[in-house]
Amino acid sequence: MEEKNLINTIRGSLLDGFFPAGWDLEKMDSCASNSPEKVLERQEWWNKDFNPVMCDSIEDFNTLMGHEIAINIKRTRDEGKKLILILPVGPMGMYRWVVFFLREWGVKADHVYGFNMDEWSDSEGNTLPSSNPGSFTYSMEQAFYGPLGEYTVPENQRNFATKDNLPKYPEKIFKLLDGGAELIVVFGIGRVFHIAFWEPHFAGEFSSEEEWKKQTHRLGAKLHPLTIEQNAITSFKSRTTLVPAFANTIGPGLFLKASRIIGGCDGTLSRGMQWQGFSLWVTLRYGPDIWVPSSFMPTLPGKLFFHRDLAGPLVAECN
More confident residue, 179 or 316: 179
Taking CA atoms, 104 is separated from 61, 109, 131, 201, 232, in Å, by 19, 13, 29, 44, 35
* 3 pLDDT higher than 60: no
Does 179 fall in a domain? yes
pLDDT in the model for residue 2: 44
pLDDT in the model for residue 7: 78
Minimum mean pLDDT among 155-159, 211-215, 313-317: which range? Answer: 313-317
CATH number for the domain harbouring residue 237:
3.40.50.1360
State the pTM of this model: 0.96
Minimum mean pLDDT among 130-134, 177-181, 198-202: which range? Answer: 130-134
Going edge to edge, which strands form the sheet with 50-55? 50-55, 302-307, 260-265, 182-188, 83-87, 112-116, 158-159
* 158 pLDDT higher than 80: yes
Question: For residue 238, which amino acid is it?
Answer: S
pLDDT in the model for residue 12: 87
pLDDT in the model for residue 159: 98
More confident residue, 256 or 17: 256
Q: Work out the percent of the chain whose per-residue pLDDT is above 90.
A: 92
- Is there a cis peptide before residue 313, judged by omega within 30 degrees of 0? yes
Does 30 fall in a domain? no
pLDDT in the model for residue 189: 98
Does 318 fall in a domain? no
| Number of domains within the chain | 1
pLDDT in the model for residue 11: 83
Does 26 fall in a domain? no
More confident residue, 246 or 8: 246
**Dihedral of the CA atoms 59, 61, 66, 71 (nearest 10)?**
120
* 4 pLDDT higher than 70: no
* 246 pLDDT higher than 90: yes
* 145 pLDDT higher than 70: yes
Q: Work out the percent of the chain whose per-residue pLDDT is above 70.
A: 98
pLDDT in the model for residue 5: 55
- Any residues with CB less than 8 A from the CB of 98 and at least 6 apart, and which? 66, 69, 70, 73, 144
Does 11 fall in a domain? no
- Any residues with CB less than 8 A from the CB of 19 and at least 6 apart, and which? 10, 25
For the segment 144-162, the average pLDDT, to the nearest whole number, is 98
Q: What is the pLDDT of residues 221-232, one digit of tens each?
A: 999 999 999 999
Domain that holds residue 109: 53-311
pLDDT in the model for residue 1: 34
Does 38 fall in a domain? no
For the segment 194-201, the average pLDDT, to the nearest whole number, is 98
For the segment 96-115, the average pLDDT, to the nearest whole number, is 98
Does 1 fall in a domain? no
Q: What is the pLDDT of residues 261-310, one digit of tens each?
A: 999 999 999 999 999 999 999 999 999 999 999 999 999 999 999 999 99
Does 214 fall in a domain? yes
Q: What is the pLDDT of residues 54-87, one digit of tens each?
A: 999 999 999 999 999 999 999 999 999 999 999 9
